[in-house]
């Protein structure tokens, strides 16, 4: 199953991979390995790829280019793809090593906090809400209308709290199941004594504004009412990448409300959220 999914992924995604590589190389010096997204990628059957290591490497070069792969390692991978029991043992041994050396201690550290997030989320009244509204309610994130379609079409939606997401949220689909990974948080309006969860949640909220540039952005947006990203760049003399990074973090943390205006992203202050953060600080300090 793993081998089939690997080949299916390689065969289904080459146009995207090639375009990303092409775009990434656009501003770099000429390179003979630069992919041309207008050229159809090489296609092989699974049997052809398994039969010959050189064919397998050509298949990978056509998708990732030489400089983005390690031929010696991929030859070892090809051997494993032809020896499924050995591949199974290697994957399991690697997962055991990662768990024992790195993950077990971290899981022990955050487990109770994540359980508190689950317990708090189960107290939210979700009656009458569709999957899109449930995700927004539990995560506290505005997903945008684009997400509504694939959430409503999903066979199942799994919400996964994380201690390592910062203010952000990520999602992916596998076998018609949408997995939404979001920062562990204390939902508004929920009564639950969970100081570790409250502290972790508060740290994310405060870290988002513990920066001079982001504080200046908030003050400027508050003064102007609503601004597009280009306005913020011009007023505060920021590069596009810097403005985008700061605005994304402030939006993800909840301080700014983002909307599309034609082709531009515009932002306004989420004044209610300022009060929510202050109240969360008071609750944590029990004052």
Q: What is the mean pLDDT of residues 259-287?
A: 86
Q: What is the mean pLDDT of residues 83-95?
A: 95
Residue 52 clears pLDDT 80, i.e. is over it? yes
Q: What is the CATH number of the domain that holds 258?
A: 1.10.10.10
Q: Are 40 and 62 in contact (CB under 8 A)?
A: no
Enter the tokens of residue 135: 């995700």
Q: What is the mean pLDDT of residues 103-110?
A: 96
Pairing label, strands 264-269, 227-228: antiparallel
Domain end residue (candidates: 118, 148, 183): 183
The pLDDT, as a whole number, for residue 148 is 84
The rounded percent of the chain whose pLDDT value lies above 90 is 49
The rounded percent of the chain whose pLDDT value lies above 70 is 89
How far apart (Å, rounded) are the C-alpha atoms in residues 160 and 260? Answer: 28
Residue 79 clears pLDDT 60, i.e. is over it? yes
pLDDT band at 140 (very low <50, low <70, confident <90, very high): confident
279 in the same domain as 212: yes
- Of 91-95, 231-235, 243-247, 256-260, the least confident: 256-260
Q: What is the mean pLDDT of residues 20-39?
A: 52
How far apart (Å, rounded) are the C-alpha atoms in residues 273 and 216? Answer: 17
Q: Are 63 and 18 in contact (CB under 8 A)?
A: yes
Q: Are 184 and 201 in contact (CB under 8 A)?
A: yes
Could you give the angle at the alpha carbon of 91 between the alpha carbons of 107 and 159, nearest 5°? 45
Residue 125 clears pLDDT 80, i.e. is over it? yes
Give a yes or no: residue 96 inside a domain. no
215 in the same domain as 159: no
Give a yes or no: residue 100 inside a domain. no
265 in the same domain as 218: yes
Give a yes or no: residue 272 inside a domain. yes
Q: Return the SS3 of 163.
A: coil
**DSSP bridge partners of 265:** 260
Q: Are 255 and 208 in contact (CB under 8 A)?
A: yes
How far apart (Å, rounded) are the C-alpha atoms in residues 282 and 75? Answer: 58
Residue 13 clears pLDDT 60, i.e. is over it? no
Q: What is the mean pLDDT of residues 50-69?
A: 85
118 in the same domain as 59: no
Q: What would the pLDDT profile of 156-177 be if each residue is shown by its tens digit?
A: 999 999 999 888 899 888 878 9
Residue 59 clears pLDDT 90, i.e. is over it? no
75 in the same domain as 6: yes
Residue 38 clears pLDDT 70, i.e. is over it? no
Give a yes or no: residue 46 inside a domain. yes
How many other β-carbons are positioned within 10 Å of the β-carbon of residue 24?
12
Q: How many domains does the chain have?
A: 3
- pTM higher than the cut 0.85: no
Order of all β-strands in the sheet with 169-174:
156-162, 177-183, 169-174
Alpha carbon distance, N-terminus to C-terminus of the chain: 55
Q: Return the SS3 of 178.
A: strand
With left for phi above 0 and alpha for psi between -120 and 50, is residue 83 left, alpha or beta?
beta
Residue ranges making up the domain that contains 214: 208-285
212 in the same domain as 179: no
Alpha helices in 52-130 (DSSP H): 53-64, 71-81, 84-98, 104-121
Mean pLDDT of the chain: 86
Residue 241 clears pLDDT 60, i.e. is over it? yes
Domain end residue (candidates: 126, 149, 183): 183
Could you give the angle at the alpha carbon of 88 between the alpha carbons of 86 and 94, nearest 5°? 100
């Amino acid at each position: 199953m793993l081998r089939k999914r690997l080949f299916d992924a390689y065969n289904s995604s080459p146009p995207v991979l090639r375009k990303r590589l092409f775009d990434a190389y656009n501003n770099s010096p000429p390179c003979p390995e630069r992919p041309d997204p207008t050229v159809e990628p090489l296609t092989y059957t699974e049997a052809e790829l398994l039969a010959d290591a050189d064919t397998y490497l050509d298949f990978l070069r056509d998708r990732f280019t030489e400089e983005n792969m390690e031929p010696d390692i991929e030859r070892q991978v090809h051997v494993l793809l032809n020896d499924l029991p050995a591949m199974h043992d290697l994957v399991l041994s690697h997962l055991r090593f990662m768990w024992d050396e790195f993950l077990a201690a971290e899981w022990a550290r955050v487990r109770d906090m994540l359980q508190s997030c689950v317990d708090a989320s189960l107290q939210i009244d979700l009656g009458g809400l569709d999957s899109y509204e449930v995700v927004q309610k539990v995560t506290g994130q505005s997903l945008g209308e684009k997400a509504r379609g694939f959430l409503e079409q999903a066979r199942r939606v799994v919400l996964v709290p994380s201690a390592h997401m910062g203010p952000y949220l990520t999602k992916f689909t596998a076998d018609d199941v949408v997995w939404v990974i979001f920062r562990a948080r204390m939902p508004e309006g929920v009564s639950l004594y969970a100081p570790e969860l409250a502290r972790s949640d508060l740290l994310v909220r405060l870290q988002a504004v513990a920066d001079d540039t982001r504080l200046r952005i908030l003050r400027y947006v508050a003064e102007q009412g609503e601004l597009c990203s280009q306005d913020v760049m011009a007023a505060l003399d920021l590069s596009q990448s810097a403005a985008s990074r700061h605005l994304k973090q402030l939006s993800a943390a909840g301080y700014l409300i983002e909307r599309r205006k034609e082709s531009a992203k515009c932002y306004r202050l989420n004044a209610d959220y300022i009060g929510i953060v202050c109240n969360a600080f008071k609750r944590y300090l029990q004052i």
